[in-house]
Amino acid sequence: MSLPVFRFCIRQLNIEIAGICNFSCITCPQAKINGGREQSFRVVMTLPEFMKVIDDAYQYRDLSRPMCISLHGSGEPTLNRNLPEIIQYAKSKGHTYVSFFTHGNRLSRGLAERVIESGIDEVTISLIGYNREIYNESMVGGDFDLVMENIQAFQKILRHKHDRNCKINTRHLIFDILRKDWEVEQYRKNIIDPLSIEAEIWLPHNWSGAYNPVFSRAEMAKQKNLGRKSCGRPHADCLEVRAGGLPGHRLAVVACPILLGRDSKGTMGHLDTQTIIEVVTGSAYENLRCFHDKKAFNGTFCEGCDYLYPNLMEVLAWTNKPGRKVGQSMTAKDLIYPEAAK
């Protein structure tokens, strides 16, 4: 009896080009207040390393749609001095959609022009806080007025470059779910409307179980007599690559994009010494898919993740992005990332 052929395709490639950050946000694993990040993952990816990963990954693309390449992980991509060259190389492969998340404070007019000229498709600003005071308290190290100015400058450049099909948007995290609707309105009034910008607003969530949640989805599930099931990520057409890795290694492939500072627990292999196919067909990934299929989460790094309760409150609270809708973030066996759905 012949064994089934292993099917592998990459529609979403998340590459962390910088595992460091110059902020200390209260919602981020990089912050010392949250325990900080493991030292061996706090590195910057080199351009040759990026090219190596892209070249390997590109052979597994879905020919029917662009490969979505997102240059983020747990660090700040603008701290990589090769950011424009990285974007340019990713776009040179053809049939790619390239984006990144940033706090936006380093996205000066000069860098913005280079990024746009490099061919970036989408930039998302993590602008957490519905006014200056809340922003400066939550995004420690940031400057509300500076990031607003940088966004406006980016928009102005785009208006004058009609041949650049690029967009910029923002993302906010709600702090008080009891005032969810009020906070959404404040963000719309103070951020979205003045900037005339697309945005997503999210409720607090604890995907990896690393933090004490603002509200316990596990307790909510218990009250509703709901069991856990796979989030779908182990079987998704997505690859997560970190800049660093376990001591002595770089280019770690991790199981989940939101390991929240515990990358070592979810490391499946390293692309400095292995190929992508060697990692995704290796024993670590096979074990991960197996315990998700069997719903055997106890004793694994997924055990405390609140995304194992997919039938509870939606964490995407509001969006005005075309093609995006509340409910789209819920995961399932056939998980499709919003970027990969383009």
Q: State yes or no: pLDDT of 257 exceeds 50.
A: yes
Residue type at 49? E
Whole-structure pTM value: 0.91
pLDDT at residue number 317: 85
Q: What top-level class would CATH report for the domain 12-341?
A: alpha beta
pLDDT band at 331, cuts 50/70/90? Answer: very low
Q: State yes or no: pLDDT of 335 exceeds 80.
A: no
pLDDT band at 215, cuts 50/70/90? Answer: low
Query: Which tens digit of pLDDT belongs to each residue from 20-34?
Result: 999 988 777 677 776
Sign of the C-alpha dihedral, residues 234, 91, 272, 37? negative
Distance (Å, rounded) from C-alpha 52 to C-alpha 45?
11
pLDDT band at 36, cuts 50/70/90? Answer: confident
Q: State yes or no: pLDDT of 5 exceeds 60.
A: no
Sheet holding 96-102, edge to edge: 267-270, 252-254, 238-241, 12-15, 67-70, 96-102, 122-126, 167-173, 198-202, 316-319
Query: Which tens digit of pLDDT belongs to each residue from 179-208?
Result: 889 999 999 999 999 999 999 998 876 655
- How far the first Cα of the chain sits from its last, in Å, is 39
